[in-house]
C-alpha cells in the first residue's frame, strides 16, 4: 500500500487493516484510523489505534492527547490503560506509567504485554521484588498450554520444588518447548543455580533467537554469574530493539557499574531518575554508584533523598554509616530510634537500622550501647543466613591433606604464565583496600575491585564435576589436567580483561575470600603475585562484626564464628607458607601504619616494581573504589583507629576464646603441624 490510507470495506475490515499497519507503517495506520474516525467519530478502537500509531512514531504528546480522553471515557478498558502507560513511558513519566500498568493488569489479568511492561518499569524503579512478581505473572498470563498452567501458578506462588518437578516432566516429553525452558531457567535462577539457568536460556535462544523475555533473563543471569561483558552484549541487543525500555536501561546501568564504567552508569541512573523521581530504590542505587566514583557530597544527598521518600528504608541509614567518615546528626539518631520502634519493618531493614544506630552511638563514644546495637543486628542477620562454621574448617583440613609440596611439584608449569594479576587476600576489614590503593598509585599497576571471577571458576568446577558426585573442593583439583589449567587460567584473564581500563601491565584482584583458593590460583596462574593483608585479630574481626555486608561474608555475624574463621584462615595461610615458601607476601597492617615507607618498599619489591613516591601519596589517587573503606583510603594513614577495638574489648571474650593461640601469637602464628 502506498499514498494516503483509506478505509476499505466494512468498518471491521478497516480496523483490522489499520492494526496490521501498526507494526511496520504506523504513519499509514494513523491515517487509516483518522479516516475511520471521520466516518465513525469517537470509535474506541480507532482511537486506540491512532494513539498507538502516534506513540510508535515517538510522538508522546500526540499519543497522550488521544489516549488520556479515551481512558477517561472507558475507565475499565485494560488495553487502553496499557497503551496510555506506554505513551507515558515515552514521555519520561515513569511513575505514572507504573500506575497505568497496574490499572491495566487489575482490569485484565491475562494482559501478557502489560505484565512484561510492568516488570520492566518496576525493575527500572528499583523494585526488584515487584518486578520478579510481575514477571512471574507474565509467564502465567502467557502460558496458554494447559500442561504448563500448573507450573506457572507454582512460580507465581514461589512453590519452587513443585514448579521444577512439573517442568522437568513436561520437558522430558517436549524438550524444545522454549516457554517451558525459560520457566525452568527461572526456577534455577531463584535457587541461585545461575550456571544451570544460563545454559537453559542459551538453549531457549538457540531455538528462538527473537525471544526477548528469555534474552532479558539471560542478561540478568550473566550479570549474576559475574560475566558483565557477556551481560552487556545481551542488554545492548535488547536495547537495539527497544531503546526506551526502562528495564533494559536499568539493567545496563547495573552492568556498566560491574564493568567499572561508572561515568556511563551514572548517566543511565540520572536518566531513569528523571523519569522515576520518587523511587527510593533507584536513588539508593544512584548513591552507591556516586560513592564508588568518589562524589561523596552527591552520594550523601542521594541517600538523604532516599530517606525522604522512604523513611523506613534501613539500607539508606546503613549506607550513610558505611561511608565511615560520615557522622549522624541528632535528628538522624532520633529518626533511627523511631524506625526501630515501628512494628512493620522487614527483618532486613531492622538489621540495617540496628547496625546504623550502633555506628551513631559509637561515634558518640557510648560504647556499651553501641555494642548492644551491633549485637542485635548481628543476631538478626545470622538468623537469616544459616552459616555453618564447620564448612570452612573442613576445607582447610582437606587443603592441608591434598596440597602438598609433591602435589605442586608434579604440576610445575601448569596454567597460564602471564604475570599480570596481583591478588590481595585475607579477611574483610584487614587493610586490603589500603594496600590496593597504594599499589594502584604505581603507574605500572591498575586497581580494579573485588573481582568475583576466581570464585565463579570455583563454582563452575564444583557444579560440573568430572569425578564422583561426592568429590568435595579442593579435592577435585587433583583431576585438573595441564590443558584444563591452561584453559582456566586464560579464562580468568579473559574474564577480567574488561575491568582493565589502562595499559598498565599489572592489575589487582582484591577479593579477600580468594585466600581459600590459593591452591587453584597456583595451578592456573603460577606467576601471579599474592599478597596477604593481615590485621590484629581483634581489630579485624570486630571491624567485620560492625559491618552489614550486602552479600557474602556470612561468617561475620557471630563473634564465635568470626574467631573460628580467622583461626582457619591463619592455619590455611601457614600451610601455604610451608608448602610454597615465599609464594605469599604478608603485610601486617600495624607495621604498615607504623613505618609506611619501609613496608611500601618491601611490597613493591615483592611485586617486582621500582619504588615510586606516588605510592606514599595514595590518598591523592582519584580512582574509583568499590569497598566499605572507599572514603578512608582517600585520606592519609592515621594511627587513631588502630586500637579503636579496645573500647569494646570487655565484650569480646567469645571472640578471644575462638581465636585461641592465634590471638596469643599474633603477628606470629602457632605451630599447626601437629593438627590433623
- Annotate 326-384 with DSSP letters as a single string: ----HHHHHHHHHHHH-S---HHHHHHHHHHHHHHHHHTT-HHHHHHHHHHHHHHHHHH
| 488 vs 130, more confident | 488
Average pLDDT (163-178) is 90
Overall average pLDDT of the 31-53 stretch: 92
Percent of residues, the chain, with pLDDT higher than 70? 94
Q: What per-residue confidence (pLDDT) applies to 636?
A: 61
Cell 488495553 appears where?
79
Long-range contacts of 367-372 (CB under 8 A, 24+ apart): 367/647, 367/648, 370/648, 371/648, 371/651
| DSSP, res 469 | T
Every domain of the chain and the residues it spans: 414-535+567-665
CATH architecture of 414-535+567-665: 3-Layer(aba) Sandwich (3.40)
Section 8-19 average pLDDT:
79
pLDDT digit string, tens, across residues 78-124: 999 999 999 999 999 999 999 999 999 999 998 888 988 898 899 88
Name which of 130-134, 236-240, 337-341 the model is least confident about: 130-134
Nearest to 603 by CA among 591, 614, 590, 587: 587
Q: How far apart are the first and last CA of the chain?
A: 84
| Greater pLDDT, 8 or 647 | 647
Q: Environment class of residue 345 by beta-carbon count within 10 Å: exposed (0-12), middle (13-18) or buried (19+)?
A: middle
Task: Give the mean pLDDT of the chain.
Answer: 90
Closest CA relative to residue 509, chosen from 340, 20, 521, 612: 521
State residue 4's pLDDT score: 42
Alpha helices by DSSP H, 125-211: 128-142, 146-156, 160-173, 178-190, 194-207
Output the pLDDT for position 267. Answer: 95
pLDDT band at 467 (very low <50, low <70, confident <90, very high): very low
Inter-residue contact 111 to 141 (CB < 8 Å): yes
Least Cα distance to 628 among 310, 334, 355, 377 occurs for: 355
Q: Are 651 and 549 in contact (CB under 8 A)?
A: no
- Site of grid cell 525471544: 211
Q: What pLDDT score does 466 carry?
A: 44
Answer whether 161's CB lies under 8 Å from 141's CB.
Answer: no
* 1 confidence band (pLDDT: 50, 70, 90): very low
Nearest C-alpha neighbor of 403 from the set 580, 585, 584, 527: 580
Distance CA 268, CA 198 (A): 26
Residue 542: exposure state from Cβ atoms within 10 A (0-12, 13-18, ≥19)? buried
What are the tens digits of pLDDT across the range 306-329?
Answer: 999 999 999 999 999 999 889 999
pLDDT at 513: 95
pLDDT digits (tens, 9 = 90+) for 245-282: 998 999 999 999 989 898 999 999 999 999 999 989 89
> Is the per-residue pLDDT at 630 higher than 60?
no
| pLDDT for residue 5 | 45
Q: Band of the pLDDT at 129, cuts 50, 70, 90?
A: confident
**C-alpha cell recorded at residue 80:** 487502553
Strands of 506-509's sheet, edge to edge? 445-449, 506-509, 421-426, 529-534, 584-588
The CB-side HSE value for 555 (13 A sphere, CA atoms) comes to 21
Q: Which of 3-17, 118-132, 616-630 has the highest mean pLDDT?
A: 118-132
- CA 284, CA 633: separation in Å to the nearest integer? 22
Per residue in 584-629, pLDDT tens? 999 999 999 999 999 999 999 999 999 999 999 888 766 554 444 4
Amino acid at each position: 500500500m502506498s499514498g494516503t490510507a483509506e478505509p476499505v470495506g466494512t468498518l471491521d475490515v478497516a480496523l483490522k487493516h489499520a492494526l496490521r499497519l501498526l507494526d511496520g507503517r504506523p504513519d499509514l495506520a494513523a491515517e487509516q484510523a483518522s479516516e475511520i474516525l471521520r466516518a465513525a467519530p469517537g470509535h474506541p478502537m480507532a482511537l486506540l489505534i491512532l494513539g498507538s500509531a502516534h506513540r510508535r512514531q515517538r510522538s508522546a504528546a500526540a499519543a497522550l492527547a488521544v489516549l488520556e480522553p479515551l481512558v477517561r471515557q472507558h475507565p475499565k478498558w485494560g488495553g487502553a490503560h496499557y497503551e496510555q502507560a506506554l505513551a507515558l513511558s515515552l514521555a519520561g513519566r515513569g511513575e505514572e506509567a507504573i500506575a497505568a500498568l497496574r490499572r491495566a493488569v487489575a482490569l485484565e489479568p491475562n494482559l501478557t504485554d502489560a505484565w512484561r511492561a510492568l516488570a520492566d518499569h518496576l525493575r527500572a524503579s528499583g523494585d526488584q521484588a515487584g518486578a520478579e512478581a510481575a514477571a512471574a505473572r507474565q509467564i502465567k498470563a502467557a502460558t496458554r498450554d494447559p500442561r504448563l498452567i500448573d507450573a506457572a501458578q507454582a512460580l507465581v506462588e514461589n512453590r519452587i520444588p513443585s514448579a521444577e518437578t512439573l517442568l522437568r516432566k513436561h520437558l522430558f516429553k517436549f524438550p524444545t518447548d522454549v516457554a517451558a525452558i525459560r520457566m525452568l531457567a527461572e526456577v534455577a535462577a531463584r535457587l541461585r543455580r545461575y550456571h544451570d539457568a544460563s545454559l537453559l536460556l542459551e538453549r531457549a535462544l538457540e531455538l528462538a533467537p527473537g525471544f526477548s523475555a528469555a534474552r532479558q533473563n539471560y542478561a540478568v543471569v550473566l550479570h549474576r554469574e559475574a560475566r558483565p561483558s557477556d551481560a552487556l552484549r545481551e542488554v545492548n541487543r535488547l536495547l537495539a530493539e527497544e531503546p526506551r525500555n526502562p528495564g533494559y536501561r536499568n539493567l545496563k546501568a547495573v552492568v556498566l557499574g560491574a564493568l567499572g564504567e561508572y561515568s556511563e552508569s551514572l548517566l543511565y541512573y540520572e536518566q531513569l531518575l528523571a523519569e522515576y523521581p520518587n523511587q527510593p530504590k533507584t536513588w539508593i542505587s544512584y548513591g552507591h554508584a556516586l560513592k564508588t566514583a568518589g562524589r561523596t557530597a552527591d552520594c550523601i544527598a542521594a541517600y538523604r533523598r532516599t530517606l525522604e521518600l522512604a523513611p523506613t528504608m534501613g539500607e539508606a541509614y546503613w549506607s550513610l554509616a558505611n561511608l565511615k567518615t560520615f557522622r549522624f546528626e541528632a535528628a538522624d539518631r532520633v529518626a533511627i530510634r523511631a524506625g526501630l520502634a515501628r512494628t512493620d519493618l522487614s527483618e532486613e531493614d531492622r538489621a540495617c537500622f540496628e547496625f546504623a544506630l550502633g555506628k551513631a552511638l559509637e561515634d558518640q563514644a557510648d560504647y556499651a550501647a553501641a555494642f548492644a546495637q551491633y549485637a542485635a543486628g548481628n543476631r538478626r542477620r545470622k538468623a537469616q543466613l544459616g552459616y555453618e562454621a564447620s564448612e570452612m574448617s573442613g576445607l582447610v583440613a582437606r587443603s592441608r591433606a591434598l596440597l602438598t609440596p609433591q602435589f605442586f611439584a608434579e604440576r610445575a608449569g601448569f596454567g597460564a604464565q602471564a604475570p599480570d594479576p596481583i591478588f590481595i587476600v585475607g579477611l574483610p576489614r584487614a587493610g586490603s583496600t589500603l594496600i590496593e590503593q597504594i599499589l594502584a598509585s604505581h603507574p605500572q599497576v591498575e586497581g580494579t575491585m573485588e573481582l568475583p571471577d576466581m570464585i565463579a571458576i570455583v563454582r563452575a568446577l564444583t557444579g560440573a564435576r568430572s569425578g564422583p558426585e561426592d568429590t568435595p573442593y579442593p579435592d577435585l583439583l587433583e583431576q585438573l589436567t595441564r590443558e584444563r589449567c591452561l584453559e582456566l587460567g586464560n579464562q580468568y584473564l579473559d574474564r577480567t580483561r574488561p575491568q582493565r581500563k589502562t595499559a598498565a601491565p599489572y592489575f589487582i584482584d582484591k577479593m579477600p575470600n580468594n585466600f581459600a583458593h590459593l591452591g587453584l590460583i597456583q595451578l592456573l596462574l603460577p606467576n601471579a603475585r599474592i599478597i596477604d593483608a593481615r590485621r590484629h585479630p581483634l581489630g579485624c574481626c570486630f571491624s567485620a562484626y560492625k559491618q552489614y555486608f550486602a552479600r557474602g561474608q556470612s561468617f561475620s555475624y557471630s563473634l564465635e564464628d568470626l574467631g573460628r574463621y580467622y583461626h582457619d584462615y591463619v592455619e590455611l595461610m601457614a600451610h601455604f607458607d610451608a608448602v610454597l615458601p615465599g609464594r605469599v607476601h604478608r603485610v601486617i597492617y600495624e607495621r604498615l601504619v607504623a613505618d609506611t615507607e619501609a613496608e611500601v618498599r618491601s611490597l613493591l619489591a615483592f611485586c617486582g616494581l621500582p619504588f615510586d613516591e606516588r605510592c606514599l601519596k595514595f590518598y591523592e589517587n582519584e580512582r574509583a573504589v568499590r569497598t566499605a573503606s572507599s572514603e578512608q583510603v582517600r585520606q592519609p594513614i592515621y594511627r587513631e583507629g588502630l586500637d579503636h577495638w579496645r573500647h569494646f574489648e570487655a565484650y569480646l571474650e567469645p571472640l578471644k576464646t575462638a581465636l585461641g593461640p592465634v590471638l596469643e601469637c599474633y603477628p606470629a602464628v602457632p605451630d599447626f603441624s601437629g593438627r590433623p
